[in-house]
Structure 1
């Protein structure tokens, strides 16, 4: 069974700030904010939510179908995915633009500040989702605004259950639009900050929202995650990481595991538990796509 993963393919420029953002940003001076961070460590990685999630799902033995757009500079990325056994039939090249770019700065407490240039991602809606016998599952992750809305409608029309994962794209939508996404989706996954924003905008609690879908997952970082089903909450405990090196892509690694479990027909709590294990493994590696999973070790 294949899973269509709608979202971005991006190049991540990852920088490390050795101090704390909280020590550099004065709360009472935000109206004249003018800060500079010295970042002695810098590297460029393959990233983007669709790419990271597809990488995680493929590592677990799943069959990802990323649906995304790249710019004229994206050939290297597409070639790399092919060598990893990831089907790129739904990845399109858009000329005269760059592949999406994320500039991510992480401080010593693993807080992050990100600047994102969407580039070719803004044309992601040009690829349509159609019903197909081998496609049984989907995910809407952060993408171009039009693409997120149209792909959600297309998943529903094709009878393909999907996970709504708005991520950093959540602020683009008002309460009515977000409520419609929830209405169309089978599952919703957000982190704790996004959960508060989503609940505030649609005017529902997590318990109430979970009654409108098959399940809601709220990730809590090092504290594990919450699984909400029909108004009831289950706390899935965290997994201790062997090393904390780089949080970039941990949420996407979790979501790849979530999709893998859903492909297998697991309970949502079991899917989330695998997500916690994969996320704990990923955080010990730099970048979103540089880890290798030992399936026996993470108990798949």
Structure 2
């Protein structure tokens, strides 16, 4: 069977993951919420390769694919890129900025799984300079392009390139939904082969676009909504929604990377010819592996395999 040609566009980042040995919500004072000044003493710090698009590419590479990663980074990406390339991710289409750092995500997780996160986009602002149409023409097309959260202009440009070339694409706007207008979201979703959201983004997409569920389903092939520990929901036009249970994760060590792992597992199963429900189950299985590891790039599909080499943390 020919190899499925996946292209994954979106954020590439460095994650600074911290662990707070308490509950963040207990640090908030009810009558002081109009002037929050919160200082948390954390007891662990891991510096990890991150970014939603790079996480998906990592998962696909672990499952035997050679995805093309498309995004914008800084000159500090060299070691990060080398680790991805060693796994089989094609980084030749990654744009390297000469003036900005690779994006940073700082995330503090408490004992209840509550999180505080800050994201610095950095070189992501230059992603709109990437001509995905030219990339696809040089490669002779693609079987599926996943358009993930990125600079909004880049997301729109990538979507238009796929439509112009007749290349199937999956819309995965993620956290960018909160800053996009209704018309911008409608442009990203229209004609998508797949649409990926989590539960909150599902509702936000409907609110921002003014569309009903049926309106969205008339414009997409399959709408996949992840539901956390409840699994996922598969929706198609003219059919009732199908709830797909989660695969138990055992000990949940770190939520980072679970979303990327789900998408990688889903897409790899799709490449093997599976139906959407089976793909969602495969996505949940890989997400469970990610949940049991610290960071988004230390899990493997098979618990019997050694993990990827641990990245050094600062002393």
- Please indicate the TM-score interval, normalised by the length of the shorter structure: over 0.9
CA distance in 2, matches of 1:73, 1:86: 18
Aligned to 2:268: 260
Aligned to 1:206: 213
- Match of 2:116, SS state, is strand
**Residue 221 (structure 1) shift:** 0.7
Please tell me whether residue 276 in structure 1 is matched to residue 255 in structure 2. Answer: no
Q: Deviations over 1:11-35 (max 9, x none)?
A: 1000111212221224553221111
CA contact (8 A) 2:141 2:167 kept: no
Aligned to 1:294: 302
Please tell me whether residue 195 in structure 1 is matched to residue 195 in structure 2. Answer: no
- Distance of aligned partners of 1:94 and 1:278 in 2 relative to their CA distance in 1, 3 Å threshold: same
**Residue 208 (structure 1) shift:** 3.7
1:105-254 maps to which residues of 2 (within 5 A)?
105-130=108-133, 131=137, 132-133=139-140, 135-231=142-238, 232-254=240-262
**Structure 1: 5+ residue stretches without partners:** none
CA contact (8 A) 1:129 1:158 kept: no
Which segment drifts farther, 20-29 or 40-49? Answer: 20-29
Aligned to 2:40: 37
CA distance in 2, matches of 1:190, 1:109: 23
CA distance in 2, matches of 1:10, 1:66: 13
CA contact (8 A) 1:140 1:148 kept: yes
Which segment drifts farther, 287-296 or 98-107? Answer: 287-296
Q: Deviations over 1:83-141 (max 9, x none)?
A: 11111111121112101111011111212221111111111122212344351101111
CA distance in 2, matches of 1:198, 1:192: 10
1:18-97 maps to which residues of 2 (within 5 A)?
18-97=21-100
What is the number of residues matched between the two proteins?
297
RMSD, aligned α-carbons: 1.7
CA distance in 1, matches of 2:303, 2:7: 23
CA distance in 1, matches of 2:5, 2:33: 47
- Distance of aligned partners of 1:89 and 1:170 in 2 relative to their CA distance in 1, 3 Å threshold: same
TM-score, normalised to structure 1's length? Answer: 0.94
- Match of 1:14, SS state, is strand
CA distance in 1, matches of 2:113, 2:212: 28
**Residue 169 (structure 1) shift:** 1.2
- Distance of aligned partners of 1:86 and 1:175 in 2 relative to their CA distance in 1, 3 Å threshold: same
**Structure 2: 5+ residue stretches without partners:** 306-315
CA contact (8 A) 1:207 1:228 kept: no
CA distance in 2, matches of 1:111, 1:79: 32
CA distance in 2, matches of 1:262, 1:178: 25
TM-score, normalised to structure 2's length? Answer: 0.90
